[in-house]
Structure formats: C-alpha cells, structure tokens
C-alpha cells in the first residue's frame, strides 16, 4: 500500500501491522505424531526414556529366550524389559513381580509405547512385555522361542492381560 502525501501514517501502517499480528497468532502447522504414538496421546517429557527403551527392545528381536537371561545374548521376559529400560537410563527391577509393583497402573485404553503389559499364566502374573504402539508389543516368549513382536488383540494375549503399567 502506497502512502500519499499528507495522509496519516496510521492509515497504511495499521493494515500492514494487522496482517502480521493475525498471521503470527494463527494456528501453527500440525506436526505429525511420532511413529507408534497413540491418537490423542499427550506426549510428556518423561516419554523420552520410554522411546529409548522401545528402541533397545526392538534391537533385540530374534535373540533367543533363556530363563534368567537379561542379555545381550539371551533374555527371559523380565530380563528383556530390564535390559531395555537400563539402556534408556531407567533403573527398573529385574523380576516381573517387582516391575509390576514399580509401575504406575495405566488404563489399557490409554497405552503409550514403552508401557509394560503384565500377563497371567496358571493363576500367577508371570509374564511381561513392552508395548510398542498400534496394538503390538515385544517380549521374550518361552523356552525355545526368540524375542518377538505380538499382537495384543489376539485372544490368547487379550484374555491373559491383567494390568498395564508405566515404569517411568
């Protein structure tokens, strides 16, 4: 806009300033949610260790199961979780029972990557997995098995899930 001689400066500065203010106060472009993030989940500063734990656990996929194993060459279920969180800088107990006591309960409908999933076998909570997002988790399943991903929605796992917890 061109200012004419004798015209007040406010008349042409006003619209230019208004367009700058409106543009600056407008919505910023939406940043995409990280891979595996649940829709509507509010990320927290505490989520960084969980992301590192998920990355560490994923890197162990295919490693053999061994009772009492806590890596890096073999794992049992709680050993995998312990190893992953140790790599993320979080001091987590070694056994399923202690990991469960240490975790803050989470509604299974509000899971975030890095949450722990506790399963019941033979009337005892005896298995733990690490939630990856999108209904999947990673765990060290049983003798003869290897660290693998599994679907939480499979009836076998859904029927045995007793609790989810956030260890950070």
- Closest alpha carbon to 142 in 88, 74, 89, 82: 74
Q: Cβ distance 136 to 150 under 8 Å?
A: yes
Tally Cβ neighbours within 10 Å of residue 108: 15
The residues annotated as belonging to the active site are 77, 127, 139
Element (H, E) at 99: helix 96-102
- Closest alpha carbon to 130 in 152, 110, 105: 152
């Amino acid at each position: 806009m061109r200012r004419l001689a004798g015209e007040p400066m406010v008349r042409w500065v006003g619209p230019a300033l208004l367009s700058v203010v409106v543009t600056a106060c407008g919505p910023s472009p939406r940043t995409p949610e990280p891979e595996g993030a649940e829709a509507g989940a509010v990320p927290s500063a505490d989520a960084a260790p969980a992301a590192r734990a998920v990355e560490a656990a994923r890197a162990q996929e295919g490693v053999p199961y061994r009772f009492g194993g806590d890596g890096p060459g073999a794992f049992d279920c709680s050993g995998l979780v312990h190893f992953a969180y140790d790599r993320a800088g979080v001091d987590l107990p070694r056994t399923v029972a202690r990991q469960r006591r240490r975790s803050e309960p989470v509604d299974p409908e509000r899971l975030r990557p890095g949450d722990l999933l506790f399963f019941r076998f033979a009337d005892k909570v005896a298995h733990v997995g690490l939630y990856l997002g999108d209904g999947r988790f990673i765990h060290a399943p049983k003798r003869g098995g290897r660290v693998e991903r599994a679907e939480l929605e499979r009836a076998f796992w859904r029927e045995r899930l007793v609790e989810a917890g956030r260890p950070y």
